[in-house]
Amino acid sequence: MKKITIKDIAKEAGVSIGLASMVLNGKSGVSTKNIEKVRAVMKRLNYQPNKAASVLRSGTRKTIGVITPDLANHYFSEVSRHIENIAYENGYTVLFGSSDERRDKISSLIDTFHSDGIQGILITPTQDAKPEIDKAISLGMKVVMMNRLIDDTEEAGCVALDSEKATYMALDHLTSNGYRKIEMVTNDNTLSNLVVRIKAYRNYMSEHGLEATVSIVHEDNQQAMKKLLHEAKERGTDAFLIPRGYLALYLCKAMHDNNYRIPDDFAVLGFDGGLNYRIMSPTISQIIQSPQETAEESYRMLIEMMQNNIPGSRILLQPSLEIGESTKVKL
């Protein structure tokens, strides 16, 4: 069913959009006749005002919504913690929701946030969530995407790691330490950040005259991981580049269970493993994007969009490399 807008009310009542808006917001300077006409149409069409817009005008609600794929994920839990801290310091409260990588949950959370009068959302979207992003924007919300970019969402902002630079940084480290048969292992090749990392990996390997191999394996399939390790050994793979943080933990466990040594049999370099990588034995080298920087830049952009009623922009964050024991110089 088509959502009734103020434009529809104005057309049906035979008045301008500006006049209909004045009636809706209780402004003075409108004749009694026109007030009655507009209100009658609003009642007949069961018009529901945009709560987020009215809250923004009145300045009575300082709450933002945050949607992440999984609040149990170390990286996203850290981002969420920093968002909550900076929001609190600036007089805002935060409502959190977890999408579990499902569009229907994103849609439901957006509806809930809108009904609560929330006018700004920070979200890590699924790759097919453009309709949900568009819906949020059409409801008058400002949207900033974190870590993942959906194309053709011009009104939404985005704060993400420079994944191409990060991938080149990781590969430079591996090749400088003597690794040449570097295999990328992921459990998804559709998310925007992973698409960029896979493409950058292939480009780098081609530029350096090295063979590129991308393997897809799911962390809950230990037999598939065992098979991957066996085939990688036969191919002569000497290093794994893993662009998803938690996947490296499962792959390292599979190596241990199948008597492969790190880094003697396979070097390992992952993304965003944080503390989990640092407490492993051996410690795992990793590309890091700062959860605090992601939170601060995303929050700053969202508040600026809300306060100035402007579209978002694109910010690429710079990666850093933390060297662990898993990529020591190849002998």
Average pLDDT over residues 91-107: 93
Q: What is the CATH number of domain 56-160+292-317?
A: 3.40.50.2300
Average pLDDT over residues 293-321: 94
**Does residue 1 surpass a pLDDT of 70?**
no
Strand order in 285-288's β-sheet? 213-216, 182-186, 239-242, 267-271, 285-288, 320-322
Return the biggest CA–CA distance within the chain: 88
Q: In 3D, which of 217, 239, 250 has the Cα closest to residue 170?
A: 239
pLDDT at 60: 46
Domain boundaries, the chain: 6-49, 56-160+292-317, 163-289+321-327
Question: 252 with 311: CB under 8 angstroms?
Answer: no
Average pLDDT over residues 249-254: 93
CA distance linking residue 162 with residue 314, whole number of Å: 11
Task: Please indicate whether residue 283 or residue 188 has the higher confidence score (pLDDT).
Answer: 283
Helices (H) and strands (E) in the chain, counts: 13, 12
Binning pLDDT at 50, 70 and 90, where does residue 301 land? very high
Binning pLDDT at 50, 70 and 90, where does residue 25 land? low
* DSSP letter, residue 311: -
Domains 6-49 and 163-289+321-327 in one fold: no
Run of H or E residues at 102: none
**Does residue 196 surpass a pLDDT of 80?**
yes
**Own/partner pairs, 211-216, CB within 8 angstroms, 24+ separation:** 211/181, 212/184, 213/183, 213/184, 213/237, 214/183, 214/184, 214/185, 214/186, 214/189, 215/183, 215/184, 215/185, 215/186, 216/185, 216/186, 216/187, 216/188, 216/189
CA of residue 306 relative to chain centroid, distance: 19
Average pLDDT over residues 146-161: 88
pLDDT at 45: 84
| Whether CATH 1.10.10.60 fits 6-49 | no
Question: 187 with 221: CB under 8 angstroms?
Answer: no
pLDDT at 53: 54
Burial class (CB in 10 A: 0-12, 13-18, 19+), 247: buried
Average pLDDT over residues 91-104: 92
State the amino acid at position 72 in one-letter form.
A
- Fold type of domain 163-289+321-327: Rossmann fold (3.40.50)
Average pLDDT over residues 295-321: 94
Q: For 61-90, what is each residue's pLDDT tens digit?
A: 689 999 999 877 778 899 999 999 999 999
pTM: 0.77
pLDDT at 57: 53
Average pLDDT over residues 142-151: 90
**HSE-up of residue 168 (Cα within 13 Å, Cβ side):** 13
* Residue 67 β-bridge partners: 97, 123
Q: For 214-240, what is each residue's pLDDT tens digit?
A: 999 988 788 999 999 999 999 999 999
pLDDT at 316: 94
CA of residue 280 relative to chain centroid, distance: 27
Average pLDDT over residues 178-196: 92
Mean per-residue pLDDT over the chain, rounded: 89
* Residue 314 β-bridge partners: 158
pLDDT at 243: 94
291 cis-preceded (ω within 30 degrees of 0): no
Q: 178-187, 231-240, 268-277, 294-303: which has the minimum mean pLDDT?
A: 268-277
**Does residue 49 surpass a pLDDT of 50?**
yes
CA distance linking residue 169 with residue 172, whole number of Å: 5
